[in-house]
Amino acid sequence: MKKQKTLKFPKDFLWGTSTSAYQIEGEIINDWSEWENKRVKSKKFKVRKLKEEDYVCGQACDSYHRYEEDFYLAKSLNTNAIRFGIEWARVESKKGKFDEKEIEHYRKVIESAKKRGFKIVLTLWHWTNPLWLAEEGGWTNKKIIEYYSRYVKKIVEEFGSDIDYWVTLNEPMVHISNGYLTGKFPPNKKCFFKARKVFNNLVRAHKEAYKIIHENKKNAQVSITQLTNYFEPAHKWCLIEKSLTKLFNYFWNLRFLNKIKNHLDFVGVDYYFHDRVVWYPPFKKNLNKITTDMGWEIFPEGIYHVLKLLSRYKKPIIVLENGLADKEDKFRADFIRKHIYNVYRAIEEGVDVKGYFYWSLLDNFEWAEGWYPKFGLFEVDRETKERKIRPSAKVYSEICQSNKLNI
């Protein structure tokens, strides 16, 4: 019989779960909610055989009212950290006017998380924008730096002393790509020049936010989350595939981080995708031996390579998202174990990984895919909002509690 091996993680390692405000809170009016309503009315949007209401966020998981329950569930998993967001459209629904009632709401949310002993990772922008900002051109508007800085300053002044880690921007390359190149996300533009403008504005916005946060709290820990794919040539002997791999790696994974590397206290990474690069269109051909409900290849080794890649910045790294859509919970337990094992491999080789956060605590509204994908450690009944633990969550809970992985 093979002897079991125990892999111990560093002391004070962060074990957490991640959520985003729009995907779980419910009843938010912003550029995304408006886009969803228009999309449903157009009847030209369906990517799966779902009902129209399955493409509208609406009440979401009602976490706006159930945050205490959600924090209780997160704590029941033996996690010591939690990532959640503030919805800009709630706190500044009217241009230049902050809603003190909503500020007080988020104060209660943060106090609740602190009361349970969580280290808090707070996301300030997770793709959604107030309607007034969208009407002024969103992130293409040169005034966005002023607007975003004003918002960040307000949040830091209100909550700065209670936040352990700040995420200024969530996956900026996804917003640029899907919003301004493919048109999959709002504002549904397909314009390279606008995409370039948004890229530059997001870089500038992060740098300004970094300065604002540090002016308020010298020892603050500030970063972004970068969706980082593991690109590899399908054939290591093929020079074209090797060159394409380097190109994709630079433009998707590294270019944004290179621009802000002097304004990072840690590197926040999200890992979901392995891309096996081929020389012919569409330049990706994965083996897809095991896939998620969304058809994404499950490739745990990729997270090891991604962490090794990001170690070049010589900053601590936190995995802020890693998860899968798996309604039947067939693969999730194994997925978690194998990805955490590969995180451990990177740590053993000297990569300074400080934490791992599973995406997501709850089944939530998955953007353009609607309610179809189920990423949660807890499933959520759409009608009653009842939360129910999945078996795989107990596997994650045991790892978090013991701070080790048995293989």
CATH of the domain at 29: 3.20.20.80
Find, among 217, 112, 197, 69, the residue nearest to 155 by Cα.
Answer: 217
β-pair partners for 406: 6
β-pair partners for 225: 170, 268
Give a yes or no: residue 224 inside a domain. yes
Q: Are 157 and 57 in contact (CB under 8 A)?
A: no
Q: Classify residue 22 by burial, with Cβ atoms within 10 Å: 0-12, 13-18, 19+.
A: buried
Q: Which residues, 6 or more positions from 353, have their beta carbon under 8 angstroms from its beta carbon?
A: 307, 316, 317, 318, 319, 343, 346, 347
Find where tokens 């550029």 sit: 31
Question: How much is the pLDDT for 292?
Answer: 98
Give a yes or no: residue 299 inside a domain. yes
Query: Global pTM?
Result: 0.97
Total structural domains within the chain? 1
Find, among 387, 274, 405, the residue nearest to 347 by Cα.
Answer: 405
Q: 162 is in which domain, residue-wise? A: 6-406
Give a yes or no: residue 117 inside a domain. yes
Give a yes or no: residue 172 inside a domain. yes
Question: How much is the pLDDT for 51?
Answer: 83
Give a yes or no: residue 193 inside a domain. yes
Q: pLDDT tens digits for the chain (407 residues)?
A: 667 899 999 999 999 999 999 999 999 999 999 999 998 888 666 566 678 889 999 999 999 999 999 999 999 999 999 999 999 999 999 999 999 999 999 999 999 999 999 999 999 999 999 999 999 999 999 999 999 999 999 999 999 999 999 999 999 999 999 999 999 999 999 999 999 999 999 999 999 999 999 999 999 999 999 999 999 999 999 999 999 999 999 999 999 999 999 999 999 999 999 999 999 999 999 999 999 999 999 999 999 999 999 999 999 999 999 999 999 999 999 999 999 999 999 999 999 999 999 999 999 999 999 999 999 999 999 999 999 999 999 999 999 999 999 99
Give a yes or no: residue 306 inside a domain. yes
Give a yes or no: residue 187 inside a domain. yes
Question: How much is the pLDDT for 1?
Answer: 60
CA–CA gap between residue 121 and residue 377 (Å, rounded):
19
Beta strands in 258-361 (DSSP E): 267-270, 274-277, 317-321, 353-359
Give a yes or no: residue 1 inside a domain. no
